[in-house]
A and B are shown apart, each in its own frame.
Chain A
Amino acid sequence: MSIMEYNGGAVVTMIGKNCVAIASDLRFGVQSATISTNNPKVFKINDRCFLGLSGLATDIETLYEKLVFRVNLYKLREERDISPRVFSNMVASTLYEKRFGPYFTEPVICGLEEVDGVLKPYISATDLIGAPVYTDDFLMTGPCNPALYGMCETMWRPNLEPDALFETVSQCLLSSLDRDAISGWGAMVYLITPENVTVKKLQGRQD
């Protein structure tokens, strides 16, 4: 049993046309026992930046609090919101600080990055010790990875409009959750566009 699979969980993020989506399952369990079915793993950092965390639940909580602490100080000192790109480097640096005794979480960051005055979709992910990866399609984290990879590779296309992106990410996640015993019990999907953020709770197989 790997410590990363102790609590289960799945997070996936996808890029669409001028929008990003990030979604997670809702299960909180201790190995085979499900304790709660209302444990989303996506957190808002600011209007333009979201964080998804999977892995050991206690580390998800602590790492989230630590990052919020640093983001709050950043906002006070710099008098501006942190951008997704800078935030993802902050996450990577924070994780590497614990290189030889890491947090057992693998974060996924998504948001809208301002480049020359225009908002562009941005996603990135890191491993538990801060090795970053940046792509322009999709990223995922958690023990549900193999199933998610298969679904996303098949379903994702570039330049999906917000509604289509929402459908795609929802179907990919729900189907993948059915293939993982320790993730599931529904999902929470965030759809982020320059105008607004919508959140929807999905009812999946409740097992």
Chain B
Amino acid sequence: MGEQYSFSLTTFSPSGKLVQIEYALHAVSAGATALAIKAKNGVVIATEKKFPTLMDETSISKIGLLTPHTGMVYAGMGPDSRVLLRSGRKKAEEYFRFYKDPIPVVGVVKELASVMQEFTQSGGVRPFGVSLLIAGYDEKGPQLYQVDPSGSYWAWKASAIGKNMINAKTFLEKRYSEDLDLEDAIHTAILTLKEGFEGLMTEHNIEIGIIGNDRQFRVLTPPQVKDYLTVLG
């Protein structure tokens, strides 16, 4: 009898809320902190990568490349973010095949947001348990977007998601300025992560991705991260 029905879990509550989306946001708030800062000549995204000591942290990457010129990080359920990463990559590649032109940053954001929205209005599925921070560089310059489980997206100058987001955002508000250089932004990002970090921060338990004027997104290697950490003392 149950198999005949496949209606959406995201049906409205009397107060006008979609409870499943609220719960998805809880899953995000329980995830490890991720943050991002847009500089005048690039964007930096950073996240904690705390795993048990026996786990091989070099085998897992939380920051993913969507296209050569966009990258993303998540807070929440890792497996859900992998599905979105795959979907975003495919949409971006389809665009490139059709137009022989790289997809605009806002374009890939819209595609991901659209997928996430579908899962709040279809039968037999649940919303994605992640919020995404997407960083990219195209003709409009460096850009930073956040996408939520509901499918809403906004552009940010600097933002944080996950466990320590409130404190991190307060910290970022004080430190942010319009003419930050990418190098300054990286330092600020690391300092912000440090604020909520339990224990000693090393190049093995954080991950940083950057994109600059060269429009190539890349994840910094542990030695590169170590250099920044050493400078900050």
Contact = CB atoms under 8 A, between A and B. Distances in A.
Nearest to B100: A89
Q: Chain B at the A interface: mostly helix, strand, loop or mixed?
A: helix
Contact of A93 (B97, B104, B107, B139): B97
B101 interface: yes
A80 B98 CA distance: 17
Nearest to A94: B98
Contacts of A80: 139
B107 A90 contact: no
Contact of A89 (B98, B104, B139): B98
A89 B99 contact: yes
- Which bucket holds chain A's interface residue count? under 10
A90 B97 CA distance: 9
Interface residues of B, number: 9
A80 B110 CA distance: 16
Contacts, number: 20
A93 B99 CA distance: 8
A83 B139 CA distance: 13
A74 to B, nearest CB: 8
Interface string B119-154: 000000000000000000001000000000000000
Contacts of B98: 89-90, 93
Nearest to B103: A78
Contact of A85 (B100, B104, B107): B100
A30 B27 CA distance: 68
Nearest to A80: B139
Given A83-B101, A85-B101, A90-B99, 9 more contacts: A77-B107, A78-B104, A80-B139, A86-B99, A89-B98, A89-B99, A90-B98, A93-B98, A93-B99
Q: What 10 A-B pairs are tightest by C-beta distance, nearest first? A: A89-B100, A86-B101, A93-B98, A86-B99, A89-B99, A90-B99, A78-B104, A90-B98, A86-B100, A78-B107
Interface of A: 77-78, 80, 83, 85-86, 89-90, 93
20 contacts: A77-B107, A77-B110, A78-B104, A78-B107, A80-B139, A83-B101, A85-B100, A85-B101, A86-B99, A86-B100, A86-B101, A89-B98, A89-B99, A89-B100, A89-B101, A90-B98, A90-B99, A93-B97, A93-B98, A93-B99
